[in-house]
Each structure stands twice: as structure tokens, then as C-alpha cells.
Structure 1
């Protein structure tokens, strides 16, 4: 049974923030990589995310990467979070991760952005990946506000990152030098992550926008 949990239109329109602050790297890590984020998800249930990509420089990759990501908890020797990418009838495994660590969608997001940037702008994917990972444990802006979930207000934390703002190689990034990462999180949403977005500024030659958004939970059958 598929249960729609989030009103996307209302989710996008966050209320006026009640608190905004700069947090250090330790606090950012603890916020982004919360342990126990899958504890309330039933074994066999599916967390469903939509991934939508726009890429003006390489539109064929946007078509390739737009689809649905499904997270399923499965019990083996340990409880595992299995990720699968779906496009209509095509299904592709993205890997299995220990559920005890938390929701692997945050690292899937970082890996896909690193790959997309490397394919589009050139440069070493290892360098890009390392800079992105560094930004996930550095100081950042955090805003607290509200969104709507099943008709009720829920508390939302939103973090905004600029991983290449001070990078010495900014001039070689072909429009990705001002890439912005935005992660919206709420304890009221199964799996914790409401949306994970990476975007170049309007007018950038890259024309890149990637959004992975929680859309539903499908109950175990």
C-alpha cells in the first residue's frame, strides 16, 4: 500500500524562518548524518524519492539520471538499507548499506553530484568528491522553519553549502564554481531527509539542477 505523506507544493513553500545561524563543522556533521534516522521504518517498507535533473550542458545525462530512488530495509545478518534506481520498467541496484549508520541517501546525493559535475565540467572526480565531502563537515548556514506534512506543521532544518566558494581551481569549473547544495531535514519524515538539492546559479553555462525529494512511503506487503 502506498501512502502519500508529503504535499510537495506546501513542502516547497517553507514558512518564514524562526531561527537562522552559522553552525560549525561538528554540529553540521551531527545534523546531516544523524544516526537512527531509519529506526522508525518497518523492515520491507519502501521509502520513495524522486530525482529530477536538469543539465543544459549535457541534457542526455539529465534524461539518464531523472527517475525514482527506492530505499528498502531488509533483514539479513544485519539490517541493511538497499537502494534501487528506477526508470519505468528499468531497475538498477545502487548498493546496500548498514541501516545502523543511518539513511544512505545523503551520500548517494553527494556521489551523484560529484559524478555529474565531473562529466559536465571536466576535472578529477576524486578531487570534486573530496571537496564536496569536506563541505559536509565544514561550517554552514542552518535555518529552522516549518513545512506541511499530512496537513500539519512540522519543524524543518535547512542547511545551505557552497563547497567551491574558496576553491583555488574555481576558474576551471565551467559554471560549477558557485554550486549550491541545500539539504532539508525533519524528524517528522521517514528517513529524515525531505529534499537534497544541488544547483548552479541562474545564468550559469552549466545550467545544472539536481533535486532528490522524498515523496512517499510504501508499506511492507
Structure 2
């Protein structure tokens, strides 16, 4: 398999995974050799992030939107992992509330944490709203950048009162975009994924940030989703 074929196979696999979870296709993702994925793809889309979560369980994340572009807000995201016969589980997501709420499908026997794809799907639709571009194009740019342009670095985070190992995946999908001129306002938008195997569900934080004109300026737009803990006893998360 030449490099172009390998790139195409990886891209198709990830596209189908993302599309299936976003209820955009009923086609199953083809089996793919994990060795064919980049390290960034493995960390974000392929690894068994839910291996440390035993059903039934609920995971809660805070979501904060801020910046000078438009009004911000604070909300919550929840992932419910339910038992399913003798199999692994079924995951149901609750992403934001009120006018911001996303309708999400149940996902059967997931390995990677669907919360990442839910976040990305919302971001893609926000890009479509803000730029009048096509969601498929933004989805493709994120996917392709993840393959060969994303950077991965080891880092540390503080979780449960102690410092633990984590990996940070970072990418700027529109910086080298051939159609950059059409989306110049968002060319520097950065996506960052902070992943840690000791955090339930494997996902500590996902954020996007569009920097200001000067390094000292606050972000024009920033959205941050951060793990906030398990929901005890299956209770609904409280609003703050």
C-alpha cells in the first residue's frame, strides 16, 4: 500500500466513524489496522478510552464558551454508560441544554469516548453557521490535519489532587487550508485534546481557541470542555 492509499484508507475510516456517531450515515466503519493510524488519530479516535469505566456510570463535563466574538455561556455535558446484555454497554450523551442542546444518538459498544466526537460535531456546525461554509468541508479539514499535521506532546495534569501523565494533541486545521482565504478570520483556530488514561473516560479536556490579533489579546472565541467527575448515584448533574 503506497502512502496515498494508506492516507485515503485512514481518512475514510475516521470519516465513517465520525459520520456514524453523528447520525449522518448508517454504514459501519471498516475494520482498520491500528498501525495505519497516526499517533494523534490513535489517541483521539481509536484508543479504548472507556476501558476504565464500568457500567452503569455517568461522566460529567463542564462547558464554557467565551470571547469577544459573541455572547458566551456556561453549561454541562454528560455521558451515561449503561449495561447492555452480555456486551459492553450503550452510551447516551446529553450535550448542553436549552437553545444550545444537541440531539444525540445512543452508541452501542463504543471504545473511544463519544464526547470528543460530540464536541467536534457541534464545533463543525458552529463553523458552518459563522462562515456559511459547508460542514463536510470543515469535517474533512479536521480529519486530514489529524492524519499528518497534528502535534502530540506528553504533559502533566492535576487530577483528583495529584499530578498524572497526559498527552496533548494540537492542530490548526485551517492554517494551511488551500481555501484559507475563504475562512481567513478563522485560519489560526486551534484545537487541543488533553487525554489521560487515569481519568475516567480518558478525556480530560477538549478546547478550541481563536486567538486575538496580538499575543497579549484575549481569545476572540474560546470553547472549553473539561472533565468534572463522575455523577454519584446516577443523579442528574446540578447546574451552577
Q: If the TM-score is normalised by the length of the shorter chain, which range does it land in?
A: 0.7 to 0.9
Q: Distance in 2 between matches of 1:39 and 1:220?
A: 20
Alignment of 1:1-221 (within 5 A): 26-54=38-66, 56-59=68-71, 62-63=72-73, 66-76=74-84, 78=87, 79-87=89-97, 93-203=103-213, 207-221=220-234
- Listed as ranges, the gaps of 5+ residues in structure 2 are 1-35, 235-240
1:220 to 1:38, Cα distance in 2 relative to 1, 3 A: farther
* TM-score normalized with structure 1 length: 0.77
Preserved contact between residue 131 and residue 163 of structure 1 (Cα < 8 Å): yes
Any gaps of 5 or more consecutive residues in structure 1?
1-23
Equivalent pairs counted in the alignment come to 192
Runs ≥4 in structure 1, deviation > 3 angstroms?
55-58, 90-93
Q: Contact 2:150/2:169 (CA < 8 Å) preserved in 1? A: yes
- The answer on whether the counterparts of 1:51 and 1:212 sit within 8 Å (CA) in structure 2 is yes
Which structure shows the higher strand fraction?
Answer: 1
- 2:82 is paired with a residue whose SS is strand
185-194 or 145-154, larger mean C-alpha shift: 145-154
Q: Which has the higher helix share?
A: 2
Q: What is the aligned-residue RMSD (CA, Å)? A: 2.5
Give the superposition deviation at 1:209.
0.9
TM-score, length basis structure 2: 0.71
> What secondary structure sits across from 1:181 in the alignment?
strand
